[in-house]
Amino acid sequence: MRDEGESPREAAAPDPAPSSSGLLAEIGQLGRAVKRLFGAQLHLLAAELGLARSAVSWMLLAGLAATVAGVGFGLTILGLLGVVLAAWFGSWIWALLTLAVLQMLFLLGSILLFRRCMHWMSLPVTRSEWNAMMRDTLHKAGAEIDAERMQSKREEGRP
């Protein structure tokens, strides 16, 4: 039951407000929880960046392997085509000459396609759109710089 010296009013009174040291302890706990949360996020980010760095290395290696395999495949096809042409013409010289002409036509076609693409990029419409986009970007950047200057002047108290 009750102690003899305890009054009924003291027994029914709620606990006093937490002391400032209790508040500081809770703030400290919150700080540690936030640190733990962001520490875990940073650890996860570091792991993902490491994985991405490893993936880039493997992608470059796979690209190199695909290039080597593609060149090897192309040479094999050219060799087989040369053998078929040599059997058809009955002469290795005519077969190799035909392969050289086919390769030259393919090279010229690639160069013409590249030049056409470069021409498309330099058309007046494309150039005007590019210039308009650059002007807009420079205008926006200039406006942001002017706004920052005005803000800093206002903060300093100058008109």
Give Cβ neighbours of residue 108 (< 8 Å, ≥ 6 apart): none
pTM, 2 dp: 0.44
Position 6 scores a pLDDT of 52
Position 51 scores a pLDDT of 80
81 burial (CB, 10 Å; 0-12 / 13-18 / 19+) is middle
Instruction: Write down the residue that tokens 């710089």 correspond to.
Output: 145
Tell me the C-alpha distance between 148 and 152, whole Å. Answer: 6
Position 159 scores a pLDDT of 57
* pLDDT < 50: residue spans in the chain: 1, 13-14
Position 109 scores a pLDDT of 95
* Nearest 10 degrees: Cα torsion 47, 51, 54, 59: -160
